[in-house]
Structures are given as structure tokens and as C-alpha cells.
Structure 1
Amino acid sequence: MRYSVPEEVDKGSFVGNIAKDLGLEPLALAERGVRIVSRGRTQLFALNPRSGSLVTAGRIDREELCAQSASCLVSFNILVEDKLAIYSVEVEITDINDNAPRFGVEELELKISETTSPGFRIPLKSAHDADIQKNTLQKYELNPNDHFSLDVRNGADGNKYPELVLERALDREEEAVHHLVLMALDGGDPVRSGTSRIRVMVLDVNDNAPVFTQPEYHRKSPGKSSEVFELKSASGDITIIKSLDYEDAKLHEIDIEAQDGPGLLTRTKVTVTVLDVNDNAPEFYMTTATSSISEDSPPGTIIALFNVHDRDSGQNAFITCSLPENLPFKLERSVDNYYRLVTTRALDREQFPSYNITVTAKDGGNPSLSTDAHVLLQVADINDNPPTFLHTSYSAYIPENNPRGASIISLTANDPDSDHNAQVTYSLTEYTLQGAPLSSYISIHSDTGVLYALRSFDYEQFRELQLWVTAQDSGDPPLSSNVSLNLFILDQNDNTPEILYPALPTDGSTGMELAPAPQNPDTW
């Protein structure tokens, strides 16, 4: 999306209709989480939530942003947060005529010999206008006089350089000082101008001005601005006096003037080109990141959206991002060095409850520099595991004539899920035993899984019970599993022997018959 706005407009001025260009209703911007993201710089624009428009966030000075670059573009991104989509935006800041041409000095003194021949040319100090195109400096004018005219030379850099041309021989005895006014005018509407006063002192012979060996000099050296250079006035050596930073300034133009004793002056330009070295590591700007994801999230779920940037240039700013191997994640590159961190497969909280994901950004310098960013991700549980007993079946024993409430056995089921998904309750499958419900004989504690006898058992009544125990978690929906339990009643000596035959008489007799003892004891 591309827009244009003049510099110096009021805060809140309309730039473009973001809602319309995104295909959204204006009031949907806030609902969809639409916002501006940029890399740490002062935000020049804002979103109007009522109109859905992009507006200025304050006064914008094109000269402060872009100096005299022909094109001044401000780039940033629009994030639609609900779907983590990034859109690139460019706004061109157009120039207005808010700067007048300015001379470096308000008054200039020149010394010229009275024997100087007409046609002699003297370079003058040029003016500077911070605006561009038609709003920048367009022409020079010299006040009418009898001895001098003005000629303007167009330099190879596109700038205009004024020169004073002697039209008529001077006579010091006639007029020792000439007062001139040089005016610089731009092409704005209305026109702005600046002036410099020139005082020409007429002297004796001096007809040779200093001459540079080249009209321009190009020196490849790291640099920042003209403040970092010092010119040795006698030797002409240019030295660096402050630290240099390619990222602050890539090119410097230094105007050099040479003047002899009587005041004749000439000019040249030194262009200092800054060479980048790989002194900046990549930087991360985390736009949005989630700290938790459900373990049943589908592949392709977005975990984080971030931007990487390197303040170097060329190969030194070429960035590659990578993840450790064998992780269920990958990086997807979007516009303007934005990356999405997404899942590649379903996650399993029971296997890996969390991930500390390291994203490495590495530039193409030699040696290369790198930066790590860390994303801590918790895997949220879903109820995907039923409770599980340690054994497929259980056996328990209890002596008959047991006291009521006696503990029989403790059963435990484990659930690898978490929180309420792992909260287990126990129950018995109900059925009828000798005409009475099972729950009148046996109970189970729903939280602990301990079985209790609710009555005293009689081995002679029944010797074995087969039960089904259910363990169910508290998920939604809940999951459960069953296990069988055989309960054996152990016999105790709680019955005396009983004579079943012969039966006792019912007439009150003893039921015994006495016989005389035999005469011969050997017959016993």
C-alpha cells in the first residue's frame, strides 16, 4: 500500500484509507487487532479507529528525515493480529517550500588588484537550500553595478556555483571599495531568498588565484558527517577526528575553499564514500508471540510473528534464520524480513509439556554475526488419555465374619493428563447379589479407590464376588476405563460339628438302647 502526504501538515491529517484498502469496515480495525508495527523508530503515523484512516501522528519534517534525497519514503508495516498477516506500507513525504536559501557567511570580503584584466572570474560562496526540486535554490542575482557581473556555473553534482566576473577595469584611486549584494532565490510559491554582502577591496597586482589539481576528489573512507573531518589549513590534509559509522551516513560532500593572502579564492568538492564493515549483528523485533498452545492444534498453527533487521548493508545485512533440528516447528518467511514460527505436526503435552525454542538470525558478513531469540511455549492439555489401572485384573481376600467398614483393597488408576483432565473418580458397576444390590455389600471411596465391606461376610453363604471398578476423569467429555476385581471370602472355624443321623427322638426319650455286656470279653 502506497500513500503520499506533504511535510509539515497538522497532526491527525489524512494520509490514506487503510480500512478500505484492507477490505475491512472501519470499526473492524480494533476488533481484528489491526495496528502499526515498526522497528523501534519514532512512529510518524497512527490509525484512526473511527474512520479507519491512516493519519499523521505529529509534524513531519522531510529535511530532517531524508535531507536532500530526491525521494523520501517512510516504510512500516500493518499487522492484522487475528490472522497474523503483515502488509507493507510506504508513505512518500513530499516537499513544501519551508526553507529559504542560506549563505554560509552573510558578508564576504574579496581583494582584487587594480591591474586585473576584465574577464577575470572569482568563485563566490554558494548558498544552500534544504528543500528539493523546484523548491530548492534555482538562481542567483547580483545587484546592478558598473564593474561586475554574475555568472552561474552548473556543477557535475547538479548544484549551482556563482562566480563574480570583472567586466570593467578597476581604479583604486577612483573607487577603493565596491559594495555588492548577492541574492539566492528558490523556485517555490511564494519565492524565498537569501542574501550575502560582498565587499571588494581594490589592491595592487595579484593576478593568480590558487588552483586545485582536480575539480573534485573522491576518497573511500569510513565517515559520518562533515563534523568528523578536520582540514589542515596550510597543508590541505583532511583528517578524521571522530568515530565513524556507516549506518549514520553513507556519503559526505565537503566543500573546500582555498584563498591566498590578497583574498583570491577557488573552490573544490571532496566526496567521502563510506565503506560498510560488518559491525552490527541482526536484531529481532518480536511483533507477537503466544505463550501457550493446545496440544491438539493443527499443523500450521502460528506461534510467533517477528521481524529481523541488520543495520549493515549488502552481504553484511543478508540474514538467514534457522531453528534447531528435530523440533515440530518451522519458519515461514513473509514480507520485509518478517517470519512466522508455525507448527509442523500435532503436539503431545504428555511427551513434551513445554518448548524453549531458539531462533538464530545470522548475517552474511565475514566473519558473520548472529543473534538468538527465545520463545518459551507451554503446551496446554486436552483430555486425550483415559485413566489407566496398573493391572488388567485384581484379586482380593477377606476373612468371613469381618467387621463392618473393614478396608479390603486400594485400587489406583493413573491419568497422564493434567489438572481436571487428570482428576480421577472411582465407582462400582451395580448388580444384584442374592436379591440385594451390590452397594449394600461393598462400597468404594470415589477419590481414593479404597474398597470397604459394608456387612460381615459368611463363607458358608457365598465364597466369591466378581466386581467391576470404573475409573473416570473429569474432562469434557470424560474418559474412563474398567478393571475386574475377584473378591474371595476366606473360611474361618466358626461352626461346630453337627450329627445329622440318626436323628434325635421326638418323644422325650434319650433315644439310646442299652445292651448287656458279653460274658466273654474276647468277643469284644
Structure 2
Amino acid sequence: MERGSFVGDMAKDLALNIKELSSSEVQIISRGMKQYFYLDLRDGHLFVNEVIDREQICHQKEKCLLNFEILVKGKMKFFTTEVEIADINDNSPSFPVEELEFKIAENTAPGARFLLPEAQDPDLGSNSLQSYHLSNNKHFSLDVQTGVDGVKYAELVLETLLDREEQKMHQLILTAADKGDPVRSGTVKIHVTVTDVNDNAPVFSKSLYEVSIVENIPKGSQVLTVNATDVDEGINSKIKYLFRKISDKTSKIFHLDSSTGQISVVGNLDFEDSKLHEVEVQAQDEAGLSARAKVVIRILDANDNAPEITITPLLSKVLESSPPGTVVALININDRDDGRNGEVTCSIPGTLPFQLRKSFDNYYSLETDQGLDREKVSEYNITITAVDQGTQSLSATAYFPLEILDENDNPPVFQTKTKDLTFQIAENNQRGDLILILEANDPDFGGNGRIMYSIIETSIGDGLLSSYLSINSEIGAVYALSSFDYEEFRDINFQVRAQDGGSPPLSTNVSVTLLILDQNDNAPQILYPSLPSDGSTGIELASHSSEPGYLVTKVVAVDADSGQNGWLSYQLVKATEPGLFTIGLHTGEIRTARYFLDKDALKQSLVVLVKDNGQPPLSASVTVTVVLADSIPESLSDIISISAPVDPQSDLTFYLVVAVAFVSCLFFAFLLVLLALRLHKWRTSQLSDSQSVNFSGVPVSQFVGIDGVRAFLHSYCHNSSLTTCSRNSQILFPIGSCTNTLEPQQMSDKSGPLLTLEDSSSAKEPQSSEQIESNLDKFVYGPDTRII
């Protein structure tokens, strides 16, 4: 039948719904052969896909069946189908040779029989060989007989005596015909040569030879040897062996030695192709007399075929949430060997979350055995192994790739061991500063693993958290939107959410505590003594009879900073009478250091510096006025009685100029004296004994001003010494300086400066080095004055 010929209505025979059939994936599975048929899904009809040759497929089988399965994947159904191939008369009978020669002795008696070659017709029934016909002649006739196996064979029968002198050559035509429609036939030419007498034909030792050989026998191996004898003598007893009846396929596998009758293997034996070979061997002498014997060669199976694995994928991708028992593929195992050589076991590695379940015959279903997790294994390359049960077992391996599709089954996880995180940031930060970076991981794939960060909105103080912090939704970086003040709030507690892009989305929160670190940004604030609103300075009273250690007052200050930034220390940086009062370093208590003297000024001004311990330190100062009096009325009268200089600033400048000029002159005089001493060495000894230094006329004063000292933030201490020697006279002024720095601060004192002068009673007398040093210590200079 031509390609596209109608075979059958499968939809009708199998009761299949055409609509369901057209929407499903249907596959015809053939075992080890061509795809001879195809199924039209539109109407369910089965058609011829390839031209079928029954003789090539089934050889001499009386009933030729083609078996295949129809798989409906949508319904997961199998249908086993058998198609019988009906024979047509497409093959003519044919003889193994085109010409045949007989040598018949002229004295051969009538009735002698000569075996003719059998024609071959691969068709069956009436289409196969049915009759033989011999061309008309007067000497020969044809006798057709049927053997025990039902096969017809023809014999040439001598009807009358031959006369070699009359005719030594006879030409006959043997015709073999079938009864097909149309009738087909084949012919062979028979040449009969009339010879002298040879009246004994060869005889085989037995009429049937049987042998069994393994299909993997090496080429050249001997199978068996047929033996025939002829009682004639001489040349008439020489026998020639030849195959009388053999197929083309068998003739390529076996070889018959015409002299010895030995049959050997020259081709490839295949048990799966043919399990049995039947041939007829003819023994013929020189006169043409012959005998025939049948040879049956049985082929034994050898395990020479590995199993064949056919995988029909149903799913190439499967969700990781697929339940156990989900079928992903169908597997067919086929082994062409026979018996235990064809028994096959199929397996997959036991470590995989899959199993093989046998469906029927040699079909297995590959299905999930447990839950899948794409985050552990994203794809599998499943190894399927088939092993037969032969003595030397053979195996086959196939691979089935399967991709696991992701589902959003994992929430983001922050890279931290705890759910509470603590970070620090110094106050007074810049807007936009990066505070921290939070990172979370999501093992899911694609959008399911894409993480977005956000801060959960909440209130902080009087505002919203979003006005203080911002987060980059992609990288989880948290930025400051404002400058933080430790004195306003010391920590910020908030939550950051990491949410993936799955549907539905999954999220994880982490609590974050942001600690605001203090900086030294607040100067100390003096609470007591507080500055009066009218600008006057507060007055503290101290009795004239106060003993050393008497508590005069206490300076109280606070600092808004914390820690060491808020640790305060108190320092007395300026006093009218140095050494009269002391102040506690950490308490701020002002106490008397000694007894009051009559020469002590009644009004004492103390400048107290309060400094914190920050880096750099900040400070504040306050002026405390202490009045020496036993009662308030007395103190008022004493204060009123004190006269203030008209122009304290002018007097101060005058004294400073005089002091600088005096020191300069003294220095130049010293240089001149030293130069003169070196030039006049002979006067060195006399000058050393009688020389004296007289600092007469130098006013020794100590300036203490309430208003005036505000411009002087540095005080200096100077030491000088005068030494002499017997031979060289030198005047040395080693200067030691200690400086206390006080930051300017606005202060107000309406009572005016208090000036105390002390006159030296020994200005006209020579002074010792100790007296000079004492007098020099009494000079007070401004911040830009230096003594060289």
C-alpha cells in the first residue's frame, strides 16, 4: 500500500474522543523497527507512513503481524496495536540458477528420474509457488510431488530411451508458476547431454542432518560435514556437493565445500534475526545422478545485545513543590536477546529523590519519591541503568535531564546571628552620612530571590522615623537624613524589613538599635554664682578672722555632655591676692589658704575657670568677688571707702612702659659692663668685690583690676638670679615662665577696679640677689610683654 493509505479508524475502535485526542500529545512507539504507521489526530485514522514489504519483515511466517503501542500522554494511557500484513503477489518464482545441465547415459532405462532445482517464491498461499511446467518434448516428462513439509518439488522423468547418435543434446525449459493475481512465473533452461552409461546415483549417509551452534561462533568455524557415496567406479564415482535449496541470506552465512561436503561459517550469525537455517544439499556424480539431504542448523542465543533504553519525557521541568508520585518520564527497556539474556532489570541511583515504578511489560514510569528543594539541587541528570541477566551481563546507560523550577519558599535571611543589631554614630553627623549596611540573602531564584529593603515607619520623639533615616531599597544602606543630637535623644530603635519579590512575597524583620555617641559640643554652664540681671557681680563675705580652709563659697556648674565630656574641673586662674584662696579641683569649693593680713585688699576678685574633660576641652569662667568684712554694713562701708583710680588703664600702661624701659636699660648696661670687664681684666677682681646692682626708683607694684584684667588672659612668672665669682663677674637671668590660658568670656563688674600699691623701703640700699628676684616677681606684664 502507498504512503498515506488508510489502515483503520483508531478513534472508533478504541472509543477515543476526537476533541480529547487532538488536544493531547499522542505518540506511536515501535520496538526496533521503522515507524510504518502514523495517526491523524484530527479524525483518529491510522495511515501508512512507510511502504511495507512483508517478505522483508516476516520472511516465511504465515501470519505477519506488526506490533506497536499508542501512548496518549494527556490521559497517560497505552494501547497495544497489532496490524496484520496481508500478502500480495509481488514476487515471481525464481530458480537458484538460470541454466541447468544434465548428462544422461543413453542406456538409461525409461522411468529414470532427475531431481530439478526448486523454485523460490517468498509470497504465501496462492501467491507462492503452485506448479511446474515442462516444455513439450518426446523424451521427458515432469513429475511434481509434495514433500512431508508441504513443499512441492519437481523431477525430470525419462519417458523413452535416448539415442545419442540420433540426438546428443536436448533443450528443455522448466517453468514455475504461482496462482496469484496476476499470475507470476519463472523459468530455468535445462540442457540434457546424452552420455554413456552411469547407472548408480550417489547416496547420503542420512537424509536429515541437524546441528546447533552459538551465534557468536567465529567465522571459518566448521559446522558439519555431509557425506554421500557412489558405488560406481572411476570417474563415475566422483561426487560433487552443492546447495540445492538455500535462501540468499543463508547463502551469505554458510559455505559448502564441493569436494568434501564440509559446511562452515563465513558470515555473521544473528539469533535475533534468524533462529533456524534450513538448506538442502545435493550430491551429484559426473553422470548427473544425484541425491539430496536436508540440513537443519539451529542458532543458539549469545548475550551479544545490550539492553536498549527509550525515554519518553513527559516533563522537562518540574516545580520544587511537586508532590511525591509526580511522573516525569516513561522508560521502555528492550533486549533482543532470548531467555535470561533478555531479562533486564532497570535502576537509578538510590540517592536521588526519584523512583522507578514498573507499569507493564518492559515499561517503567520515572516519578518523584520525595519533596524537591531547588535551593539544594537546581537540576538533575538522572542516570538510568539497565542490566540483563546473561552469564556475562551487558548493560546500557541513559541520562534524563530534569530542571527544578523555583518557588518562593524561602524568606530573606539577614547575615547576623541575632535579630537585634546595635550600631553607633557620633552626634553632629552630616546629613547623608552612611550609618550602616544591612545585607540579607535569599536562596530562591530570580524574582523570588530579589530583595527589597525598607524601614518600618514609627515615631521618634515628636516626629516620624522617616525624617531621620532613609534606606536604599536595593543594597540595604541606611543613611542619616538629619544631624543627631545626643542631648536630644541617645538612641534610635527601628526595624528593617527585607522582602523578596515572590508571589506572595516573604519577608524578615531585624531590630536595629542606633546608639548616638556623645561629642564634646556643650561648654560647661555655671549655675552658681549666677550673673545678676543688672550686670553687677555677686559678692561673697569672708570674715577677717577666718581660718585657713574656711569655705567662702562654692562654684556650681553643669555640662550637658556625658562621660568624660561632662567631667568638670575647677581652676582658679586669677586672684587679687594669689595664694589667699584655693579651689577644689572637682568640688568647686573656694576656701581660704591662709589667715587674712591687714595689708590684704578688702575686695578680692577671683576668676574661676570651669573646664570639661573632652577633646578638645571646652570651658567657662566666672568672676567671684569676695569682700573681707565681718558684717554686711561693714562690708558696704569698706567698699564705698575704696577709691578707684581715675584712669586705671592709663596708669597700667604707664607702669608697663616704665618697666620695659628699665629692663632694656638694665640689659644694655649689663652688656657694657661685661664688655668693659673683658677689656680691662686688671679691674676684674676689684669690680667683683665691690660691684653691686641697685634697682632704685623702680616701682614695685601688683596690679589687680576687676575691669582691667579682662583684657589680660595670660599671667607670667619670672625668676632671676645674680651670681658672682672671684675672677669673672657675670649677671645671669634664667627666666622660667608658666602660663595659664583662659578663654575670653563676657563679664561685668560695675564696682570698678581695685588698685593696691606697695612701696619698697629699701630702694636706696644695695640689694642682694634674693631681693632682686623678689622684686622681679612683683612685675605684672601684659600678654605681649617678654623679659629678655
TM-score over 0.5 (shorter chain):
yes
Task: Give the SS at the match of 2:55.
Answer: helix
Report the Cα offset of residue 486 of structure 1. 1.8
Task: Give the SS at the match of 1:103.
Answer: coil
Report the Cα offset of residue 358 of structure 1. 1.6
Instruction: Note if 1:133 corresponds to 2:150.
Output: no
Q: Contact 1:87–1:335 (CA<8 Å) still a contact in 2?
A: no
Q: Contact 2:95–2:117 (CA<8 Å) still a contact in 1?
A: yes
Which one-letter code corresponds to 1:58 in the other structure? Answer: E
Aligned partner of 2:425 among 388, 398, 423:
398
Matches of 1:199 and 1:414, distance apart in 2: 98
Partner of 2:377: 352
Distance 1:187 1:501, change over 3 A: same
Give the number of the structure whose alpha-carbon radius of gyration is greater. 2
Q: Identity of counterpart residues, as a percentage?
A: 51
Unmatched 5+ stretches in structure 2: 216-248, 551-594, 596-788
Report the Cα offset of residue 158 of structure 1. 2.7
Partner of 1:110: 102
Q: How does 1:442-521 map to 2 (within 5 A)?
A: 442-500=469-527, 504-506=531-533, 508=534, 510=536, 512-513=538-539, 518=544
More strand by share: 1
Partner of 2:143: 151
Q: Contact 2:458–2:494 (CA<8 Å) still a contact in 1?
A: no
Aligned partner of 1:32 among 9, 13, 24:
24
Partner of 2:707: none
Report the Cα offset of residue 48 of structure 1. 3.0
Partner of 1:162: 154
Report the Cα offset of residue 25 of structure 1. 4.7
How big is the alpha-carbon RMSD for the aligned residues of Structure 1 and Structure 2?
Answer: 2.8
Task: Give the SS at the match of 1:225.
Answer: helix
Which one-letter code corresponds to 2:404 in the other structure? Answer: V
Matches of 2:448 and 2:138, distance apart in 1: 102
Partner of 2:229: none
Instruction: Note if 1:221 corresponds to 2:213.
Output: yes
Q: Contact 2:73–2:314 (CA<8 Å) still a contact in 1?
A: no
Report the Cα offset of residue 394 of structure 1. 0.9
Which one-letter code corresponds to 2:437 in the other structure? Answer: S
Matches of 2:464 and 2:27, distance apart in 1: 66
Matches of 1:395 and 1:124, distance apart in 2: 111
Q: Deviations over 1:340-372 (max 9, x none)?
A: 221111111222233232211111111111122
Q: How does 1:419-430 map to 2 (within 5 A)?
A: 419-430=446-457
Matches of 2:375 and 2:51, distance apart in 1: 55
Q: Contact 2:348–2:355 (CA<8 Å) still a contact in 1?
A: yes
Q: Deviations over 1:384-437 (max 9, x none)?
A: 010112221111222222222222222222212222211111111112223311
Partner of 2:350: 325
Aligned residue pairs, count: 515
Report the Cα offset of residue 172 of structure 1. 5.0
Matches of 2:115 and 2:62, distance apart in 1: 27
Matches of 1:177 and 1:422, distance apart in 2: 100
TM-score in terms of structure 2 length: 0.61
TM-score in terms of structure 1 length: 0.89
Distance 1:513 1:196, change over 3 A: closer
Distance 1:150 1:510, change over 3 A: same
Aligned partner of 2:303 among 262, 267, 278:
278
Which one-letter code corresponds to 1:48 in the other structure? Answer: D
Q: Deviations over 1:76-131 (max 9, x none)?
A: 33333445554433222110112222223344333333443444332221111110
Q: Contact 2:358–2:365 (CA<8 Å) still a contact in 1?
A: yes
Aligned partner of 1:412 among 421, 432, 439:
439
Partner of 1:4: none
Q: Contact 1:86–1:334 (CA<8 Å) still a contact in 2?
A: no
Instruction: Note if 1:257 corresponds to 2:249.
Output: no
Task: Give the SS at the match of 2:183.
Answer: coil
Q: Which deviates further from its counterpart, 48-57 or 367-376?
A: 48-57
Task: Give the SS at the match of 1:128.
Answer: coil
Which one-letter code corresponds to 1:159 in the other structure? Answer: V
Matches of 1:520 and 1:15, distance apart in 2: 137
Q: How does 1:297-316 map to 2 (within 5 A)?
A: 297-316=322-341
Which one-letter code corresponds to 2:270 in the other structure? Answer: D
Partner of 2:265: 240
More helix by share: 2
Q: Contact 1:222–1:245 (CA<8 Å) still a contact in 2?
A: no
Task: Give the SS at the match of 1:131.
Answer: coil
Instruction: Note if 1:92 corresponds to 2:84.
Output: yes
Report the Cα offset of residue 296 of structure 1. 0.8
Distance 1:181 1:403, change over 3 A: closer
Aligned partner of 1:367 among 392, 410, 419:
392
Q: Deviations over 1:189-231 (max 9, x none)?
A: 3433333344444444322211222222222235672212222
Report the Cα offset of residue 49 of structure 1. 4.3
Instruction: Note if 1:296 corresponds to 2:288.
Output: no
Q: Which deviates further from its counterpart, 136-145 or 472-481?
A: 136-145
Partner of 1:46: 38
Which one-letter code corresponds to 1:64 in the other structure? Answer: Q
Partner of 2:625: none
